Structure 1
Amino acid sequence: MDMDGDWPLPRLNAPFRINRRPPGSSLSKASSIASTFSSLATPVVAEAVQRARELSTQSDVEGFHQLRVAFRKLRALYWAYSPYLGEEATAHATGEFKRLAAVAGGTRDWDIAGDLLISAQQSGAPIELLVAAAREKRAQAALHTQTMIKSDAVEAFLNDVLLRAQTTLQSRCDDLPIRAFAEKRVQLAQRALQKRSLRVARSETAHEEGLHDVRKAGKKLRYLLEFFQPVIKGGRGRTIRELTSVQNKLGQFNDIAASENLIRSASFNEVPPEVVQHSLRWLEEQKCRRMRAASRRVRNIVG
């Protein structure tokens, strides 16, 4: 897939400067909406560029994971600033962030599935052939990610969308203070999470889709709180910790559900069908257990 279908990629005249400061480290309540975006986006862009560069020489688990996280954070940030960035510009940028996160996540998904299959094997499941096949799938996914994500193209694309966003914000909200805006966007994200959590809590039976929606809404809220913590009332440090705890529980369920879907949709020509089915039954049992645990955690929060 061509990354520059919507965005013309400029030639870089100078190397990208890696900003090691954490997002929000230079924020203050007196900052403008426009200047705050730059302070928040620049280090996340730098992280994505650095991780994309590293993919050309290595394929470690953490690298793929952190690259996906960087693109997810950028999606959350662009959502936060979308009232001033505009619907079309936000859709263009976040659509590409989503695609790049999915490409980076393909390898990560096979890492998780492989670890779960090893756990199943250790519990006595006769799935050695499937474990080996999953390793091969992981290697293929890593090669695909490295082929699809070229650091120069990613760097040029991110520089371009960042420059476009900064130019738009400077023309529309350069003199508007950040605090009230940040609190409003956080409140909207919080309401979305509460609405989705209530839907799960009121349901008599747990549903994968509902839990997945809660997980996505919680992740967006957590990212926004981490971004805006220096300028919103109360700092919300405790809320961030609580969200992280909930996300861990929901993430455990999601790992199982995603791995089950991944194995179901993959083809394993060298693996007998009964071996694949055995692994799927094991994953289904684990998924049901973790789904119940995740649902209880969501209900506790609502309560």
Structure 2
Amino acid sequence: MDMDGDWPLPRPKTLFRNERLPAGSLLTRQSTIASTFSFLATPVVAEAVQRAKALSTTSDAEGFHQLRVAFRKLRALFWAYSPWLGEEATAQAVEEFKRLAAVAGGTRDWDIAGDLLKAAQESRASIELLVAAAREKRAQAVAHSQAMIRSDEVEAFLNDVLLRAQTTLQSRCSDLPIQAFAEERVRLAQRALRKRSRRAARSETAHEEDLHDVRKAGKKLRYLLEFFQPVIKGGHGRTIKKLTSVQNKLGQFNDIAASEALIRSASFDEVPHPVVLESLQWLEKQKHRRMRAASRRVRAIAG
């Protein structure tokens, strides 16, 4: 499973005040930069608030995962609009999105690590004692996420940061059309992905950091294409499909690399060290296998 799997953009439910899109319309190339931001941000914020409220009383791993993805999509959107929002305002919002995403992701990370340990157990590279310890770590992650993500605070923060952003955009670019701006931001994201892919493809086996950089750049580009597809030239459905395929391979590698790092950094007082070591060795072998597959896919897009 990909820790950062796809999350379809929900349909907008409401629009911010002062929205200038014609009633009942979708995005068009004549939409303004400011109105497009409101149109795109509103459903993502609604999803994040809904997930945060639900997770205050439940421990659904997929819910935590989708909350993390929502914050990552907001990061991409704020990056896209950063030329008009300003560097400082963008950095402050993005930093909080990153923090909330990390807190939300702890439960999902332990779910994936636990699944991998179960697979190791089937290969006799782990035992139930370690699998049970991972379940306990998962329970601790749930408690931490619920304590740190208070739905009323998340809702207040998101409403505030987006209202500030909307006010800024209305004052700076309320009459500027979206198309040229969106195409330029997509081009920059494409350039970044191409640069990172080529760097990762230089060696026969890419370094973990290089693959991680490709993965992040690919996600940003895919999010922007999903956001801006109605207003930019050319059909990008094939590109999104290709990016999703590459991300799946990179996600499989990331799952096991992240799980290995998670288990290495954790303490398992009740589990014999040789058991943990054997599981880590199994994960290491699986990681290299998935790294080779991910590297081949990255070399293909770099070319």
TM-score w.r.t. structure 2 length?
A: 0.92
Residue 97 of structure 1 pairs with residue 97 of structure 2: yes
Partner of 1:179 in structure 2? 179
8 Å Cα contact 1:79-1:90 kept in structure 2: yes
Distance 1:84 1:152 in 2: 28
* Offset of residue 19 of structure 1: 4.3
1:34-49 equivalences under 5 Å are 34-49=34-49
Distance 1:56 1:294 in 2: 36
* 1:103-132 Cα distance to aligned partner (Å, 9 max, x none): 000111001100100111112224221100
Distance 2:178 2:57 in 1: 40
Stretches of structure 2 that go unaligned for 5 or more consecutive residues are 1-10, 15-20
SS at match of 2:83: helix
Distance 2:109 2:215 in 1: 17
Partner of 1:53 in structure 2? 53
1:123-202 equivalences under 5 Å are 123-202=123-202
8 Å Cα contact 1:34-1:174 kept in structure 2: yes
8 Å Cα contact 1:127-1:276 kept in structure 2: no
Partner of 2:72 in structure 1? 72
1:26-37 equivalences under 5 Å are 26-37=26-37
RMSD: 1.5
* Offset of residue 202 of structure 1: 1.2
SS at match of 2:26: coil
Distance 1:235 1:37 in 2: 21
Distance 1:88 1:200 in 2: 31
8 Å Cα contact 2:12-2:40 kept in structure 1: no
Partner of 1:273 in structure 2? 273
Partner of 2:241 in structure 1? 241
Partner of 1:257 in structure 2? 257
Percent of aligned pairs sharing the same letter:
81
* Offset of residue 26 of structure 1: 2.3
Shift in CA distance, 238/266, structure 1 to aligned 2, threshold 3 Å: same
Distance 1:117 1:189 in 2: 36
Residue 218 of structure 1 pairs with residue 212 of structure 2: no
Stretches of structure 1 that go unaligned for 5 or more consecutive residues are 1-17
- Greater shift in the superposed pair: 270-279 or 121-130: 121-130
TM-score w.r.t. structure 1 length?
A: 0.92
Matched residues, number: 285
8 Å Cα contact 2:196-2:213 kept in structure 1: yes
Amino acid in the other structure paired with 1:117? L
Partner of 2:6 in structure 1? none
Q: Which consecutive segments of 4 or more residues in structure 1 shift more than 4 A? A: 18-21
